[in-house]
Amino acid sequence: MSGARTQPEHIAQDPRAFRVSGRLHGTIVAAVAVWLAGVGTIAALGAAPRGQATAPGAGRGPIVNIAADGLVGCLVPPLAIDGSHGRDELLTAYRKLVDHYADAGVPYLFLNVCYQRAAYPSKVWDTYWDLDDPDTQATGWPRCYWLLHKKGVDPFAACIARCRARGVLPWLSIRMNDTHYIGDPTRTSSFWQRHPELRRAPQGGYDFTHQAVRDHYLALVAEVMDRYDCDGVELDWMRFPWHFKPGEERRGRAALDDFMRAAHELAEQASRRRGHVVRLAARIPAVPEFAQGLGMDGVAWARNGWVDMLILASVWRPSDTDIPIERWRALLGPAAGNVLLAAGTDLWLQGAPGGKLMSDDRETQRAFTAAMLDRGADLIYLFNHFNMNDFRYQEPLPDGRTVVRDEGSALLAEAGRLEAAVQGARRHVLTFHDPAPPGLPNPKPLPAQLALGRPVRFRLFIGPKPTKGRVILRVGLERAPGVAEARLGARLNGAACGPLEDLTGPAPRKPNPHDASRVFHVAHVAHRMVQFEAPLGAARRGYNEVALRLVHGAPQKVVWLEIYLTFETRRQAS
């Protein structure tokens, strides 16, 4: 795989390959040219053995990525890094943070070392305290790294040491093109500020077709591998996934191939120095055709032995609940045995573009784990799951009291473990694929219009077939004339579903001014949440077809759909 390649041989790029008949719901049905002949197994390279498809923790717990802001702002138990704590107290705080994840059975921690600046004392990148007067100019979470540096605390070194003591695999994560705070000169690098000619757009990140950009990032990869004794380095191409000027994706793909080849060689060199394998992971789009179309050719990278793990994920909102693991394995061919496939989920669930958001919880995480591991994923990867406050909520009781529920540790303990995921209630939510490259279709299943005589159909992947409990369909309708009087009908895999009472929830919380579209109860993601119960025997392993029709009333718009599998009684579930 080199810059001379003009046509990809393993994934069909002709948009006609994506032509489908009828409405496409929840998945991309692509005619893919699967190139298998002549592909041998990837040889083990360097002094340390590679090419094993299993690793500690595979299928037995999640990977947790802790962003740079989370590593200083979301300590467990909480501790404010404000300059008032001594070095020993800060080191103890980082030991306790790792203990929190280790106690929950998390086998991998991925620690993010950078946005556009380095969060450790780098010699090759600007740090967050490389400012004229960091005491006054370093603000927010970057200031915490300056305060830690003044105390002589390197949080990455502290966490790696504690990971080793607790049996957790420590990795470091590099954001490959982060554009947070792009207008803030104290958080963007001097390299960015000096070289506007290297940008893909004025505020749109770097253009990786430039060798200078690739060298800038390779220097950081080399330094991280030299400075820290980690088990691996993640190249996070999803922060953010646009790495070239529009229309330059083909040339850009060759540039990223060259980068991955060079990064792999750096990992080989680090493995020889350390005496143990230093692995390489890449986080890329969840759909293989979309990943390659955006220049992130994970299939080629794995076939060439340049990566040990592919993390398949959405860009942000929403989490992709329909990652085609089986298609990745088919495209990888024999190389599938030499690379771990991790299914990545973000914190957010959204049915339709621009619609209400819910954050991941135990029920949706069980659903994601069950579906992805059943499809053949080796691991579950959690992004933006480092703030335990996101999993702590107040629940009103019938007697008027309010209790605080804290699901953070329980979610971590169940994520990535199939046997745990199928033992509790799970909510399989229909979302959509994002991002997609120019020129390839990406139809969204929602919103969908319901009108008399015009049924609509959807497919949701639920993983293992439920053998007990109840199967409930939840259909969210947008506010519209006649929405309260509308009557719907539903079938699951052809079996008629009985109507239930609409789902209602507690009084909505006051919206967060920074995130007004976020809600905390499924009843609040739509104006009306219609429910049906399907026969238990109608549910199938894998994909399930939901057919909806309008029985009476004015046309309506569906903005949310989920299959809720529960062991609760009828009164509890409704």
What pLDDT shows up at residue 164? 98
Residues in the chain: 574
Do 344 and 482 belong to one domain?
no
What pLDDT shows up at residue 352? 97
Measured CA to CA, the distance from residue 529 to residue 477 in angstroms comes to 6
Is 307 inside a domain boundary? yes
Query: How many separate domains does the chain show?
Result: 2
Q: Where in the sequence is the domain holding 67, given as residue range(s)?
A: 15-425
CA 454 to chain centre: 35
Do 320 and 203 belong to one domain?
yes
Is 152 inside a domain boundary? yes
CATH number at residue 510: 2.60.120
What pLDDT shows up at residue 58? 55
Measured CA to CA, the distance from residue 296 to residue 246 in angstroms comes to 15
User: Per-residue confidence at 404, pLDDT binned at 50, 70, 90?
Assistant: confident
Do 323 and 241 belong to one domain?
yes
What pLDDT shows up at residue 571? 54
User: Per-residue confidence at 52, pLDDT binned at 50, 70, 90?
Assistant: low
Do 260 and 405 belong to one domain?
yes
Rounded to the nearest integer, the mean pLDDT of the chain is 89
Other beta carbons within 10 Å of 233: 26
Is 97 inside a domain boundary? yes
Buried b (16+ CB within 10 A) or exposed e, 480-489: eeebeebebe
Handedness of CA 48, 54, 60, 65 (dihedral sign): positive
Left (φ > 0), alpha (ψ -120 to 50) or beta: where does 248 sit? alpha
What pLDDT shows up at residue 7? 35
CATH number at residue 104: 3.20.20.80
What pLDDT shows up at residue 51? 58
Measured CA to CA, the distance from residue 263 to residue 218 in angstroms comes to 7
Question: Considering 367, 390, 425, which residue would you say is the last residue of a domain?
Answer: 425
Q: Identify the weakest region by mean pLDDT among 47-51, 224-228, 366-370.
A: 47-51
pLDDT average, residue stretch 503-526 = 81
Do 390 and 497 belong to one domain?
no
Is 317 inside a domain boundary? yes
pLDDT average, residue stretch 130-140 = 98
pTM of the complete model:
0.91
Do 420 and 453 belong to one domain?
no
Do 169 and 83 belong to one domain?
yes
Q: What is the pLDDT of residues 543-554, one digit of tens each?
A: 999 999 999 999
509 DSSP 8-state letter: P
Q: Identify the weakest region by mean pLDDT among 280-289, 347-356, 505-514.
A: 505-514
Do 417 and 463 belong to one domain?
no
User: Per-residue confidence at 264, pLDDT binned at 50, 70, 90?
Assistant: very high
Do 273 and 141 belong to one domain?
yes
Place of tokens 């540790």: 409
Give the side-chain half-sphere CA count within 13 A for 143: 11
Question: Considering 425, 459, 479, which residue would you say is the last residue of a domain?
Answer: 425
Measured CA to CA, the distance from residue 299 to residue 35 in angstroms comes to 11
User: Per-residue confidence at 28, pLDDT binned at 50, 70, 90?
Assistant: very low
Question: Considering 390, 425, 460, which residue would you say is the last residue of a domain?
Answer: 425
Do 496 and 408 belong to one domain?
no
Query: Residue 314: pLDDT above 90?
Result: yes
Q: Residue type for 567, please? A: F
Is 432 inside a domain boundary? no
Do 219 and 136 belong to one domain?
yes
